[in-house]
Amino acid sequence: AFSVNPLTVMGAGTARAAGRVGQAGQLATERTRTWWDDWRARREVARAEAALDPPRPRREPYDGAVPAAADSAAEPELPEEPAPAGDEVGTVDPGAGLLPEDQVPAAGHPLPPVGFLTAPARENRAGMERELERLGGVLVEKLRTFNVDCEIGGRTTGPVVTQYEVIPAPGVKVNRIANLDADLALAMKARSIRIVAPIPGKGAVGVEIPNPEPEVVRLREILEARAFARSRGALPLALGKDLRGESFVSDLTRMPHALIAGATGSGKSVCLNTVITSLVYKHGPDRLRLLLIDPKMVELSAYSDLPHLRHPVVTDPRDAAGVLKWAVLEMERRYALLSANGVRSLAEFNQRAESDVVLRRVTAEGPEGDEDRWIYDDGPLPYIVVVVDELADLMMTVQAEVEKPLTQLAQKARAIGIHLIVATQRPSVNVITGLIKANFPCRIAFRVASKTDSRTILDQNGADSLLGHGDMLFLPPGQSEPVRMQGAFISTEETEALMDWYREQADTLEALKARVRSREEDILEAVRALDGDEGGDGEAIQGDWDELFRDAALVCLQQGAGSTSLLQRRLRIGYGRAARIVDQLHDAGVLGPPDGSKPREILVGADTLDEICPSV
């Protein structure tokens, strides 16, 4: 009989298994070697093709010289270009600078030169390119340690971040890569990594890694770019550079309102400065009026001498509420003016005003019998841009008075040339309420503290993975995926130089400012007059005081401070009545203005209180 030794069978099976393992390892090694050979071949082909293309000539920065035959007051002749396709909010362009040193718009007054803005530094990035190639190989190696088979399909290098296009192997789920951001950041020793899964319009996953040598994007470089100089937008904003390193310019009239959020040090305040500077580089004070609201009193105070200001920089929250109410009144007045003349937009109205078409006023001006008292002859209506630096401070103090006009303006003000730019450090649901968020379709997010804050501002994660210092996500209206870019930088010294230029031009602009302001009313006086007519929040008269007014004043005097909750407890009244009494005490000069969550300060003594409200 034939017998089989079990040990012999087991040994043979083990040998066959070891052989299969060895073959599998050899096959994996061969596949890896083949992939690297293919990748090197593609790289050599790409380098050869790039060597055949002639290098793009660089335009030398403008040195301030004006040709003798040129008319310094004329616009530079620019060749015709095709109209932009669609209604794009942002445009990018890698072209050379075209902005002249001294611009003279149609109105005839000069716009500021770019000479005092810092020019961008020309850096040799050859060493960084080699490092980026090495990082691409490291990225593939680290992904394979997490059992993700893939290859690099390309990369896009921006000023601060490089996006690698990772093409996963068949059968690899995208979510496996998307959930590895923290692990990859640890493995590659990167400060932060953001993963876009997938890249819109491409069959790849984007892995964005910080550059070894970040680049500072200077505002002057964006202002000199063709995208800004040739922009057909009415209110172009020089925002920065995108992931391809190209200048990104967006038109505020197409946004038409922007909501900006970012933690301290993220670049939010610098972004506001670049926005304001971009606007004044395109329009004089007769075509652009600014309303700056700065509850922190330090961020926007540098623009106090700007001739474009419709009202001095607002720092008091109650005055800010009044300014927003005036903006609503101006919106209604403009809509009535457009309706009386049968036009639908500010651009159409201004076109008629500039072409000597007879326009009609809403209310007659002049003596009875004058045939021209109904003729509108005040010229084109300027754009009005309202900039709010810290919405959280306003929502803490005067939320009821601020939220309603903000919502009204965001809903209706686009067609008549009033636009809002609102910024906050805390993008919580208490600050950015659903009513405000729904009416601000354009969002700009800088680095925030948590994923919750990112979802509040963008409706998605991502802002919590930004690097700070100008790294931002721009979400245009109607799009679901934000655009990552590096914001343009303008220093405090550059802003001061801009303001010094305007101070030097004070005599030149005085006649223009006088002509513009002769047609403008005082904002706060107009709001107070309206409140007085409507019996609103204007100055209270003694007959309108609550019957507990004096008792409430005595309670506040005894406590050394006043608040709504104090009156609720001591007088045993409801919140609404206590809040109305606090407002009456403020209007009468007994209590000071609101100071966040702190109680209000007492401004009078017992003797003065007897004069204001004698005891009965």
**Which CATH number goes with the domain that contains 580?**
1.10.10.10
Q: Is the peptide bond before 256 cis (omega within 30 degrees of 0)?
A: yes
- What is the rounded distance in angstroms from the CA atom of residue 552 to the CA atom of residue 548? 6
Per the structure block, which two tokens stand in for 571?
């007088």
Same domain, 378 and 511: yes
Beta bridge partners of 55: none
Strands (E), 479-519: 483-487
Same domain, residue pair 175 and 316: no
Contact 586, 593 (CB under 8 A): yes
Asked if residue 278 is part of any domain, the answer here is: yes
Q: Are 270 and 470 in contact (CB under 8 A)?
A: yes
User: Are residues 510 and 552 located together in one domain of the fold?
Assistant: no
Peptide bond before residue 594 is cis, with ω within 30 degrees of 0: no
Nearest partner of 281 among 237, 317, 313, 246, judged by Cα: 237
Residues of the domain holding 546: 539-612
Closest CA to 469 of 263, 305, 280: 263
Dihedral sign from CA coordinates of 407, 412, 416, 421: positive
Partners of 48 in the β-ladder? none
CA 345 to CA 412: how far, in whole Å? 12
> Distance of CA 370 to CAs 145, 277, 358, 364, 565, Å?
87, 44, 16, 10, 58
Residues across the chain: 616
What pLDDT does 61 receive?
A: 42
In a domain? residue 46: no
Q: What angle is formed at CA 276 by the lines to CA 275 and CA 280, rounded to 5 degrees?
A: 120
Q: Is residue 192 located within the same domain as residue 263? A: no
Within-domain flag for 413: yes
Q: 398 Cβ partners below 8 Å, 6+ apart?
A: 317, 318, 320, 321, 594
Q: Is residue 430 part of a domain?
A: yes
CATH of the domain at 350: 3.40.50.300
Separation between Cα atoms, residue 92 and residue 244, nearest integer Å: 9
- For the chain, the C-alpha Rg in angstroms (whole number) is 32
> Which residues, given as ranges, of the chain have pLDDT below 70?
1-109, 364-373, 511-521, 524, 526-544, 614-616
- How many CA atoms, within 13 angstroms, populate the side-chain half-sphere of residue 374? 7
**534 in any annotated domain:** no
- In this structure, are 544 and 513 located in the same domain? no
Same domain, 203 and 299: no
- The confidence score (pLDDT) of residue 515 equals 64
Instruction: Kindly report the backbone phi and psi dihedral angles of residue 54, in degrees, each rounded to the nearest multiple of 5, phi listed first.
Output: -65, 140
What the block records as the tokens of 273 is 């400065």
Domain membership flag for residue 30 = no
pLDDT of residue 30: 66
In the three-class reduction of DSSP (H, G, I as helix; E, B as strand; rest coil), residue 601 is classed as: strand
- 592 within 8 A of 601, measured Cβ to Cβ: yes
Task: Determine the pLDDT at residue 68.
Answer: 38
Q: Are residues 549 and 497 in the same domain?
A: no
Separation CA 309–CA 293 (nearest Å): 11
271 in helix, strand or coil?
A: helix
Q: How far is CA 487 from the centre of its chain?
A: 10
pTM of the model: 0.70
CB–CB of 608/579 below 8 Å? Answer: no
Same-domain pairing of 288 and 432:
yes
Together in a domain, 438 and 346: yes
Tell me if 462 is assigned to some domain.
no
Q: Which amino acid belongs to residue 400?
A: A
Q: What mean pLDDT is reported for the chain?
A: 81
In eight-state DSSP terms, residue 210 is E
| pLDDT of res. 3 | 55
pLDDT in tens, 15-53: 565 566 566 556 556 666 666 666 666 666 566 555 555
Question: Are 204 and 290 within one domain?
Answer: no
Q: In whole angstroms, give the CA distance from residue 345 to residue 414.
A: 9
Give the whole-angstrom CA distance, residue 293 versus residue 386.
8
DSSP conformation letters of 375-413: EE-S-PPPEEEEEES-HHHHHHHHHHHHHHHHHHHHHH-
Which CATH number does the domain housing residue 171 bear? Answer: 3.30.980.40
Q: How many independent structural domains does the chain possess?
A: 3
Residue-level pLDDT at 127: 77
Both 268 and 201 in one domain: the answer is no
**Per-residue pLDDT reduced to its tens digit, 385-432:** 999 998 988 988 888 889 899 999 999 999 999 999 999 998 888 888
Residue closest to 427 by CA, chosen among 455, 400, 388, 389: 455
Residue 467's SS3 state is: coil
CA angle in degrees (0–180, nearest 5) for 606-610-612 = 115
Is 185 a member of any domain? yes
Please state at what angle helix 564-571 crosses helix 549-559, rounded to 10 degrees. 110
Helix (H, G, I), strand (E, B) or coil at 470: coil
pLDDT tens-digit series, residues 70-120:
333 334 444 444 433 334 456 655 444 445 444 545 445 678 999 889 998
Say whether both 511 and 549 belong to one domain.
no
